[in-house]
A and B are shown apart, each in its own frame.
Chain A
Amino acid sequence: MFTLVDLVQPETLEDAYQSLISKRSNTVLGGCAFLKLGSKRIMTGIDLSKLNLNYIREQHGFIEIGAMTTFRDVETSSLLKESFNGILPQAVSQIIGVQFRNVVTVGASVFSKYGFSDLITALLVLDTEVELYHDGRMSLQEFLNQPPKKDILTKVFIKNDQRIASCQSLRNSASDFPILNAAVSQADGRWTIAVGARPLKAELALQASELLSQANVLNDETIEDAAKAASEELTFGTNVRGSAEYRQAMSKVLVQRGITEVLAC
């Protein structure tokens, strides 16, 4: 269990950011569900719940999701259910239970770059950007590749380009952490493939995506080739849930299923 020496509930993002950078061990609190599994000693916990960051809205061609939006809000949002084949509600709906999803937040999951995140994998195959209070707006991919920094993720932007998407996951039991997950999307003939829980954080399979996008015809053979390419270009690791070899073999299956599902739409 973590220890909080002090807690602040700032009323502006500037105050929150100043608190965050004033001491090394100061930490932004998300839903706290994962944070409480550790034993971190936090000098000042910064609670963002008074900053009105809980929303899902459509603005200027983008869907915006506020950092304090819960997974359950994502799961039940009619806007998100109708967008991208409902990939985002589907991605979060397998995570533990309703009560848990009413606690965990989008901002904390994305900012923490959790390897096991189903949400990040799904967001990666959409045209997703994040907004950081200090560093500003950048693509999700760029953010994921940066080293950890003291900043506050305020919202996630997803270009509402009507792309078709699918997410897949492999779990030991219904509510467990994923052994592996994958997401696939297609817009105007351009395909995007991402694989997560490898157990490293989700990553785009760029070569496989290009291979699929360049294919003259999409049949069982080209789909299999793309899935194989994804499994070969990404790296996989071993942990208690599965070996690197198992993950690599299964990534082919999940990517294949994702492509097939998108084609069926």
Chain B
Amino acid sequence: MLINLSINGKDVRIDVAKDEFLADTLRAQGFLSVKKACDTSCCGLCTIWIDGKPTLSCSVLSIRADGKKLTTIEGLQQEAAEFAEVLTAEGAEQCGFCSPGFTMTVLAMKSELKNPSDDEIVHYLTGNLCRCTGYMGQLRAVKKYLEVLA
């Protein structure tokens, strides 16, 4: 089935299978920041924005994204680089496999919540799993990033 998508501001028309999920569609289009890990909708590694909302691309049928605006980390290079600087400075990254999905959620939180408390940050980021860092470094990095922006 042919669907129309806007991916990082660029309009594309793509032929997708009826039971194809967005993570596969995007990876096939070269957006390799979209990771497939758990494939059971619980790790957050495949997080992209659909019309500005952080969403698990592994769980959305591609056909349902017809006409929507998709954003991957490839479309947020500057913001991602700024956050990555703080992330590495705080020792909050090791293998880096979860970083694209984590960064997409952090940037979504930045636009959605004003001056979030520690609890609100943790609650918003609960859906992003990381097996390396133990999360404390990530929390420090997010707080520092928000402070710098303020």
Contact = CB atoms under 8 A, between A and B. Distances in A.
Nearest to A42: B19
Interface of A: 1-7, 9, 29, 31-33, 36-37, 45, 47, 49, 72, 93, 96-100, 102-103, 174-175
B13 interface: no
A29 B61 contact: yes
B137 interface: no
Given A4-B19, A32-B61, A49-B64, A98 B41 contact: no
Contact of A102 (B39, B42, B55, B63): B55
A33 B127 contact: no
B111 to A, nearest CB: 12
Interface in B100-150: 105, 108-109, 123-128
Given A32-B61, A33-B41, A175-B42, A102 B54 contact: yes
Interface residues of B, number: 29
Contacts of A5: 18
A5 to B, nearest CB: 8
A93 B59 contact: no
Residue of B105, B108, B124, B126 with most chain A CB atoms under a 10 A cut-off: B126
Contact of A93 (B53, B64, B123): B123
Given A7-B63, A98-B108, A102-B54, 7 more contacts: A31-B59, A33-B41, A36-B41, A37-B41, A97-B126, A102-B50, A102-B55
Nearest to A31: B59
Contacts of B128: 97
A99 B105 contact: yes
Given A7-B19, A36-B41, A47 B64 contact: yes
Contacts of B39: 1
Contact of B124 (A45, A47, A98): A98
A3 B17 CA distance: 11
Nearest to B1: A7
B77 interface: no
Contact of A6 (B18, B60, B64): B18
B47 to A, nearest CB: 5
B40 interface: yes
A35 to B, nearest CB: 9
B61 A99 contact: no
Contacts of B64: 47, 49
27 contacts: A1-B39, A3-B19, A4-B18, A32-B59, A32-B60, A33-B56, A36-B21, A37-B40, A45-B19, A47-B63, A49-B64, A72-B53, A96-B42, A96-B126, A97-B42, A97-B105, A97-B127, A98-B54, A98-B109, A98-B124, A99-B44, A99-B47, A99-B54, A99-B55, A99-B105, A100-B56, A100-B127
